[in-house]
Amino acid sequence: MGWKFTEAAFKDLIVKLKADYTILGPKRFVGQGRFSDTDLIRYDEIESLDEIVWNEKSTFSPKEVVFPITQTLFYFIEEKFLEPKLDENKILIFLRPCDINGIRRLDTIHLRNGPQSDSYYAQLRERVRFVMMECMEGFDTCFCVSMKSNITSDYDMAVRFGDDEVLAEVKNDDFTRYFSLDLPRVEFTPGFVQENTIKVTVPDGGEISAGIYNHDMWNEYKSRCIACGRCNTTCITCSCHTTTDIFYDDNMRAGERRRTWACCHVDGFTDMAGGISFRKDNGSRMRFKVLHKIYDYNKRFGEHMCVGCGRCDDNCPEYISYSSCINRLSQVIQETDACVKIP
Amino acid sequence: MAHDVNTKTAVKNAYRITKVRGKTALRIRIPGGCLHAKHFDLLKHLAEVYGDGLVHLTTRQGLEISGLDYAGIPEINRLIMPLLQDLEIGIGVEIHDPAKGYPSAGTRNIAACIGSRVCPFANYDTTSLAQRIEKEIYPNDYHVKVALTGCPNDCIKARMNDFGIVGMVEPQYDYQRCIGCEACVKNCASQVTGALSMHKGKVKRDKRRCIGCGECILKCPTAAWTRNPAKFYDILIMGRTGKKNPRIAEEFIQWADEDVVVQVIKNTYKFIDEHIDKSLPKEHIGYIVDRTGYPVFRDKVLEGVKLNSGARVAKHVQWGGCRYSSDVFLSD
């Protein structure tokens, strides 16, 4: 069962929820897009329902809410250190099923990859609740169905935006105290995309032979990719970061430890002491990313990292299509029989 | 055959006195260089039936139809009414009797690069601004050349014009969103003025060096650099070609808003009125400014102009340019 909100009633719900929650959603920044006279849509705190852009895909994913682009872990001065004060508000994010599934991948990496979970991630993540925005059709670059990430049940509330009403499934009973229970009840459970225009065949369940690593197909990306990193920064599942100690200009005995997103496509990602670095050509960076998204993460955790949100395809300035690359890889594996099936 | 042609009237009517006795050529103005494809039918008809079948693309983005008879001018003027209607009257230009063709030709067609309708580098819609300026200054007959370019790449070569209007964008930096990838810094150093530098994993911008090209915004993978949606312009003045002292235009006002651009260009006509040498058949604006000096020009064109905050007016302007010299050659 669900609830039928008039637009006004749902606006009121958001106002009431804001007393206890910081609410974030895909928001339009007019005229602040990359090109002149274009808009930017990215996640940010919203003040009212009107600000939620639910019928377009955001350029950037909601990952920056749970995994900030820049995060100060602690401040240090002489021998002492201090962790930043935590905002105690709970966080509510309006997002699509693919992104909810994407955040589950971020959880896996930060909380279940190795013996030590990431406490900085954990303390932010545990404050987060999801409002799933129903997504029945997706967009022209989406391939969530192929990646099996079109469906989720991990949300406190699911909503369908209509012209002047909002249908909602409320799974978290705590939410019912924020709206009138006299609202009309309706049969509503959210639907999910059943088919995307883009279909991706993922090489599944097999061991990829070394031949694939050196295959000629990656060479094309040596010249096509410009290593800008947009596929990484817009990806909901890219979770690499780099940690730096910053010493303040005015007093070098004080500073902070900070972590910042890092991108496997961008120069410097593999820099090591002694001036050593790996994957210097952009073709091998493409190979590294693609195989991580649809091969080695799966080997370790039993599902693919990529959720098929298609943001990498939307944002590549060189029109490199990652989804086309996966299909090509599958074809190469089939043709060369380079994939040895493991039962 | 004897021709009795008032060349002054013909020239003002946008017809050229050509080298072929008895034949003239008509220059069609296309403000901003953007023409609806529907007009090609009429242009083809004019060239094939009245001219020599050729259409020349002019250096200022107009079209020149050659091989026309002087006697045919009244009829051609009536035929081109749809062009005047769409390209001039339609954008707000006042033309009293459109059946008589172009009312003047001294102020040249406003040229513009393709601008932000198509080009990713452009910081504004050059076509729209060209049309707005055309509306304000045409049909003046003083010899003034205006060109608009979307960014400092200056593909239209605005610096060769009396007024070159270059699009600027103010980049806004979000420290938290920056991942320190250095894409903007490296690009600014190699392609632009080196206004950006790295400082402890983040970026610093030297405002005095920044020319507002917007390349940092284009390069940034996280939208740490975004656009200030307000539009700004760099007004370059008194560039020119010619036999006497060709030179590139220099900066007059940086970070001007659109109203300032339009008002300054409008006021220039008052300045010309006051200072032009009336004994000459025509005098080019740049040479008038050479005679009066920059401060006289500056003070006149800024009269009544409300400068937006952030706009910076040049204290001095030092034009260089070349002067033809007989002294530089090894032999006489």
Q: What is the DSSP string of B16-80?
A: EE-SSTTEEEEEEP-GGG---GGGHHHHHHIIIIIS-S-EEE-TTS-EEEEEEEGGGHHHHHHHT
Amino acid identity at B50: Y
**Of the candidates A325, A329, A306, the residue with the CA atom closest to the CA atom of residue A316:** A325
CATH number at residue B202: 3.30.70.20
Q: Which residues of B fall below an 8 Å CB-CB distance to A?
A: 116, 120, 122-125, 150, 167, 169, 172, 175-183, 200-201, 214, 217-219, 221-224, 226-227, 229
Q: What are phi and psi for residue A255, nearest 5 degrees? A: 175, -160
CB–CB contact B125 A36 (8 Å): yes
How close does chain B come to A142, measured CA to CA in Å?
21
Q: How far is CA B100 from CA B29, B39, B78, B97, in A?
A: 15, 19, 7, 6
Q: How far apart are CA A206 and CA B279, in angstroms?
A: 90
> What is the spatial distance between Cα B85 and Cα B91, in angstroms, rounded to a whole number?
9
- Region B60-72: mean pLDDT is 97
CA distance A293 to B256: 48
- Contact between B183 and A233 using a beta-carbon 8 Å cutoff: no
What pLDDT score does B332 carry? 73
Of B183, B201, B229, Cβ closest to residue A260: B201
CA distance B183 to chain A (A): 7
Which residue has 């032979």 as its token pair?
Answer: A209
Does residue B327 register a pLDDT over 80? Answer: no
Instruction: Write out the E strands in A102-214.
Output: 128-133, 157-161, 165-170, 185-186, 206-208
Smallest CA–CA separation between B39 and chain A, in Å? 28
Q: What is the pLDDT along chain A (343 residues), one digit of tens a residue?
A: 899 999 999 999 999 999 999 999 999 999 999 999 999 999 999 999 999 999 999 999 999 999 999 999 999 999 999 999 988 899 999 999 999 999 999 999 999 999 999 999 999 999 999 999 999 999 999 999 999 999 999 999 999 999 899 999 999 999 999 999 999 999 999 999 999 999 999 987 678 888 898 999 999 999 999 999 999 999 999 999 999 999 999 999 999 999 999 999 999 999 999 999 999 999 999 999 999 999 999 999 999 999 999 999 999 999 999 999 999 999 999 887 655 554 3
- Do the chains contact at B229 and A31, CB–CB below 8 Å? yes
pLDDT of B5 over the 60 cut: yes
Q: Which of B100, B119, B138 delimits the end of a domain?
A: B100
The secondary structure element, H or E, covering residue A277 is none
Q: Is the dihedral of CA A265, A270, A274, A280 positive or negative?
A: negative
CA B141 to CA A130: how far, in whole Å? 66
Question: Residue A288 to residues A25, A218, A295: CA-CA distances in angstroms?
Answer: 31, 10, 10
Q: Are residues B153 and B242 in the same domain?
A: yes
Residue B225 reports pLDDT greater than 50? yes
Token code pair at residue B126: 């050059």
* B124 plus B250 within the same structural domain: yes
Q: Is A153 on the interface with B (CB under 8 A)?
A: no
B chain contacts of residue A27, beta-carbon cutoff 8 Å: none
Q: How many domains are contained in chain B?
A: 3
Smallest Cβ distance to A36: which of B122, B172, B200?
A: B122
Phi, psi of A237 (to 5 degrees): -110, -10
DSSP string, B98-144: GGG--S--SSPP-EE--GGGT-SS-SS-HHHHHHHHHHHHTT--S--
Q: Closest by alpha carbon to A267, among B177, B221, B217?
A: B221
Looking at residue B289, its pLDDT comes to 97
Whether residue B287 lies inside any domain: the answer is yes
Of the candidates A138, A190, A136, the residue with the CA atom closest to the CA atom of residue A167 = A190
Considering only the beta carbons, identify the residue of B125, B201, B229 that sits closest to A246. Answer: B201
Determine, yes or no, domain membership for B332.
no
End-to-end CA distance of chain A: 43
CA angle A130, A131, A132 (to 5 degrees): 105
Q: What is the pLDDT of residue A343?
A: 39
Query: B15 and B83: one domain?
Result: yes
Q: Is the peptide bond before B98 cis (omega within 30 degrees of 0)?
A: no
Residue B191 and residue B74 in one domain: no
Taking CB atoms and an 8 Å cutoff, what residues of chain B touch A44? none
Taking the C-alpha atoms of residue A143 and residue A195, their distance in angstroms, rounded to an integer, is 8
Q: Do B122 and A268 make contact, defined as CB atoms within 8 angstroms?
A: no
| Mean predicted confidence (pLDDT) in B218-227 | 98
pLDDT exceeds 80 at position B123 = yes
> Measured between alpha carbons, how far is B272 from B172 in angstroms, rounded to an integer?
39
The count of CB pairs under 8 A between chains A and B is 83
Question: Is A69 close to B181, i.e. CB distance below 8 A?
Answer: no
**Same domain for B241 and B295?**
yes
* CB nearest to A260's CB, from B169, B180, B227: B180
ipTM over 0.90: yes
Q: Return d(Cα A134, Cα A137) in angstroms, integer.
A: 9
Task: Verify that B241 and B145 share a domain, yes or no.
Answer: yes
DSSP calls for A75-94? EEETTEEEPPPPP-SEEEEE
Work out the percent of chain B whose per-residue pLDDT is above 70.
99
Residues B135, B256: one domain?
yes
Nearest C-alpha in A relative to B180: A260
Question: Which of B74, B100, B126 delimits the end of a domain?
Answer: B100
Give the separation between CA A200 and CA A252, rounded to whole angstroms. Answer: 52
CB spacing of A36 vs B123 below 8 angstroms? yes
How far is it, in rounded angstroms, from Cα A29 to Cα A40?
5
Average pLDDT for B12-41:
97
Q: Is B197 part of any domain? A: yes
Pick among B128, B169, B179 to test the A interface (most A CBs inside 10 A): B179
Q: For the beta carbon of residue A300, count every other beta carbon within 10 angstroms.
A: 12
Query: Is B213 among the domain residues?
Result: yes
> Do B135 and B24 belong to one domain?
no
pLDDT digits (tens, 9 = 90+) for B161-216: 999 999 999 999 999 999 999 999 999 999 999 999 999 999 999 999 999 999 99
Q: Does B282 share its domain with B236?
A: yes
Q: Cβ B116–A36 below 8 Å, yes or no?
A: yes
Question: Residue B89 belongs to a domain with what CATH number?
Answer: 3.90.480.20
Contact list in B for residue A35 (CB cut-off 8 A) is 116, 120, 218
Query: Where in the sequence is the domain holding B128, given as residue range(s)?
Result: 111-167+232-313
CB contacts of B116 in chain A (<8 Å) are 35-37
Reference A43, options A21, A11, A20, A66; nearest CA is: A66
Q: Is residue B138 part of a domain?
A: yes
Q: Is residue B106 part of a domain?
A: no
Instruction: State whether B176 and B163 are in the same domain.
Output: no
* Closest Cα in chain B, distance from residue A29 (Å): 9
A84 in contact with B at a CB cutoff of 8 Å? no
Residue B277 lies in a domain: yes
By DSSP bridging, strand B23-28 and strand B15-17 are: antiparallel
Do β-strands A80-82 and A70-77 pair in parallel, antiparallel, or remain unpaired? antiparallel
The answer to whether the Cβ–Cβ distance between B179 and A37 falls below 8 Å is no
DSSP assignment string, A166-187: EEEEE--GGGGGGS-TTSPEE-
Question: Which 3 state secondary structure label does DSSP give A26?
Answer: strand
B179–A29 CB contact, under 8 Å: no
CA distance B176 to chain A (A): 5
Alpha carbon distance B60, B112 (integer Å) = 9
> Is residue B322 in some structural domain?
no
Which among B330, B302, B298 has a CA at the least distance from the CA of B315?
Answer: B298
Rounded to whole angstroms, the Cα distance separating B89 from B86 reads 6
Note whether B222 and B243 are same-domain residues. no
Residues B133 and B238 in one domain: yes
Burial class (CB in 10 A: 0-12, 13-18, 19+), B144: buried
How much is the pLDDT for A29? 98
Q: What is the CA radius of gyration of chain B?
A: 23
List CB contacts (< 8 A) between B219 and chain A.
228
- Asked if A254 has any chain B CB less than 8 Å from its own CB, the reply is no
Question: Chain A interface, mutation test: which of B113, B174, B227, most A Cβ atoms within 10 Å?
Answer: B227
Cβ B43 vs Cβ B53: under 8 Å: no
The verdict on a CB contact (< 8 Å) between B177 and A59 is: no
pLDDT at A205: 63
CB atoms closer than 10 angstroms to residue A274? 6
**Residue B223 pLDDT more than 90?**
yes
